[in-house]
Structure 1
Amino acid sequence: MINPMQFPSAQPVKSRSLGTRRPFAPLRLMAMCVAVSAALAAPLAQAQADDYAEVNRLLRAGQFSEAMSKADQYLAGKPRDPQMRFLKGVIQTESGKQADAVATFQKLTEEFPELPEPYNNLAVLYAGQSQFDKARAALEMAIRTNPSYATAHENLGDVYAKLASQAYSKALQLDAGNAGVAPKLSLIRNLFAADAKGAKPAAAPAVSTPPVAAAKPAASAPAAAPAAQAPAATGNAESDVESAVAAWAKAWSSKNMSGYLGAYAGSFTPPGGQSRSEWEADRKARIMPRNRIDVDISELSVSVNGDRASAKFRQAYSSDSLSVTSRKTLDLVRSGNRWLIVRESTGS
């Protein structure tokens, strides 16, 4: 089911479809969690969080006029705030102002091209207008920005399926006697019709939030950290996995690239079809220029099955000018006395 994206909230919300259901399920909107940079002073951070939460509450209650008024009031004083602008775009979407919502999300992609969520929302709106080529392009940008953005990958697959349906329909119009096309078209239509009937509203996974500017200058770059040591095995597999996740987050926070990259198994498959060397170069380019990185892990849940394990948690990432909260899953395998990452995904 193609997934539309939603708005910042302190808790995951139920996904809601845009428009009436067609043979293909509509894109699902995702829930965006409010995150405030750790560098902000506590009173300011709390005030911002309260404003986001109030607009979110009004939005979830269907009080769109009140939510828009509150958002506009906030933006009058902070016109570049990406989180509230994102919320405003969702209010416009939910209240039927599709053209305004497209303009809002398009502007966000121009000013904050590192954020995948506005691209995803544009895809939702374009798909609702049957502009599937534009939806495809927007989703490809979301994936280029965040190759492990699972929802965008799912959405892109559904957009391609819709494009295939249109192509098969056109082929039948041009050559009604082609016996090989009709079964393909029927298969796609039946697949999505069954999905639309059987799908239940699922709690939308938390995804990254737009950046929040730091309230004070970034600290100077920390000295290079020594290579991380593998956490000592305790004999308790779940505890060992928790220690491995903590060591991975610590190496990332300290920009210890040998420790960070060493947390990944040789069999790790980089997202987005990258080679291992391309992925490592990309990670270094993203991590090393930052003056400050903080990676905080919470709500960690570990399951172990023999020599394989899965760790699910909420990740709060903040750097010089970016604050991101997301759900993340790490799949790990036991290698000697270490647990190494073989797959990671965001938003699931």
Structure 2
Amino acid sequence: MTYARSTIFTTLRLLALAAAFASPAAHADEYGDVSQLLRAGKLNEAMIKADVYLAAKPRDPQMRFLKGVIQRNSGKQADAITTFTKLTEDYPELPEPYNNLAVLYAGQNQYDKARAALEMAIRTNPSYATAHENLGDVYARLASQAYNKALQLDGANAAVPPKLALIGEVFKPNIKGQTPAAAVPAAAPVAPVAKAPAALPAPAATPARVAAPVAPTAPPAAVATPTIAAAPVAAPAKPAVSDGSVTEAEAAVRAWAKAWSAKDMSAYLGAYAKEFTPSTKQSRSAWEEDRRKRIVGKASISVKLDNLTVTVNGNKAVAKFRQDYRADALAVSSRKTLELLKTGDKWLIVKESTGN
């Protein structure tokens, strides 16, 4: 890839995010038909099918999301922004529409709006890694603009060019200069977000050609420095793990999901250890109050776990699974990871993350 406007990357990320919404089997054909037309580049036909579907089900989040992608691919940026904005208003608990709004705003060089949209995505889902990385890209672009402005005002400032060059190294393009082909996801529930971030468009050429917000390459290997050889130390023996420990940790995870589904706030909040710290700037009490509002306010909730795997190492455990969440008319499928700590005879959650 180059520092030129990264249209392929932006398109890929927008399409990948459409899979964030779990689709009932009854509607899989409709979603699949629209996705297939998108893949074939038949945007007019895809839009017609999407509009027909939405005429009967105007609040369907996945089809509205796909419509936003069609609008974006058709060059109707303003319409796509309207579609994703309305999605954030109707489904404020979903971070993906905020993320796509950020991509669209960045394409119009509205980086302050892009930043605000990404901050909302993170506030909605603090463990949304894609939004965090995209926010870093936006900050880098804003930094690039500020440094270039500094050079315009004071061209003799020798401290600025190295900073521009540093940003350029962070976003250094692939050696082969290739970009992946865009693909439309299947309509069946899959991971909500591609692990790589949505690409943000590159700025106009600058002295250091920096801050093109594309997926950064792996950091360079550390330069070897001379060290004093230490005497070998025997590796500590790994603690034995019993099948009982795995079973107990798995039971704790399932009990947490059951309490969530039952809106049993005492059992749900009791599944978190005192060491658990929210991934936001909220205090623990503010986080608990926010969770109460989000859970108790729903008419019905269903949390189902698939492909649950638990690994135990001493008094620590990691549980990974696919979470199918349904609340009222909303359905979302995502990968989730819980880190647990055994406290007394209980396994309690100390960290949770989504999308990995």
Q: TM-score, normalised by structure 1?
A: 0.76
What's the counterpart of residue 273 of structure 1? 281
**1:54 matches 2:33:** yes
Give how far 1:133 is off. Answer: 1.0
CA distance in 2 between partners of 1:262 and 1:252 (Å): 11
Partner of residue 131, structure 1: 110
Q: Deviations over 1:141-174 (max 9, x none)?
A: 2222233322212211211111111111111221
Partner secondary structure for residue 193 of structure 1: coil
* Number of positions where the alignment pairs a residue of Structure 1 with one of Structure 2: 298
**Secondary structure at the counterpart of residue 304 of structure 2:** strand
Contact residue 309 and residue 319 of structure 2 kept, 8 A: yes
For residues 65 and 45 of structure 2, the distance between their equivalents in structure 1, rounded to whole angstroms, comes to 16
1:40-90 per-position Cα deviation (integer Å, ceiling 9, x unaligned): xxxxx5432221122123323433333222212212322332221111111
> 1:305 and 1:94, CA in 2 relative to 1: closer, same or farther beyond 3 A?
farther
Match of 1:243 among 251, 254, 258: 251
What secondary structure, in the 3-state scheme, does the structure 2 residue paired with 1:325 have? strand
Alpha carbons of 1:18 and 1:180: their partners in 2 closer, same or farther (altered >3 Å)? closer
> What pairs up with 1:1-348 in 2 under 5 angstroms?
19=7, 28-29=13-14, 30-31=16-17, 32-36=19-23, 45-194=24-173, 206-207=191-192, 235-348=243-356
Letter in 1 for 2:91: F
Going from structure 1 to structure 2, the CA distance change for 1:120 and 1:131 (only over 3 Å counts) comes to same
CA displacement at 1:281 relative to structure 2: 1.2
After TM superposition, give the deviation of residue 111 of structure 1 in Å. 3.3
1:210-231 superposed Cα distances (whole Å, 9 cap, x missing partner): xxxxxxxxxxxxxxxxxxxxxx
Query: For the structure 1 residues 83 and 104, does the alpha-carbon distance in structure 2 shift closer, same or farther, using more than 3 Å as the test?
Result: same
CA spacing shift, 1:252–1:142, aligned 2, 3 Å: same
Q: 1:143 to 1:79 in 2, by over 3 A?
A: same
Residue identity matched to 2:153: L
The Cα shift of 1:301 comes to 2.6
User: 1:106 is matched by which residue type in structure 2?
Assistant: T
Q: How far apart in 2 are the matches of 1:281 and 1:273?
A: 14
Contact preservation (8 Å) 1:18, 1:27: no
Q: Which segments of 5 or more consecutive residues in structure 2 lack a partner in the other structure?
A: 194-240
1:18 and 1:128 in contact (8 A); partners too: no
Q: Look up the equivalent residue of 1:95 and give its one-letter code.
A: S
Letter in 2 for 1:71: A
Provide the C-alpha distance between the structure 1 equivalents of 2:90 and 2:298, rounded to a whole number of angstroms. Answer: 19
RMSD: 3.0
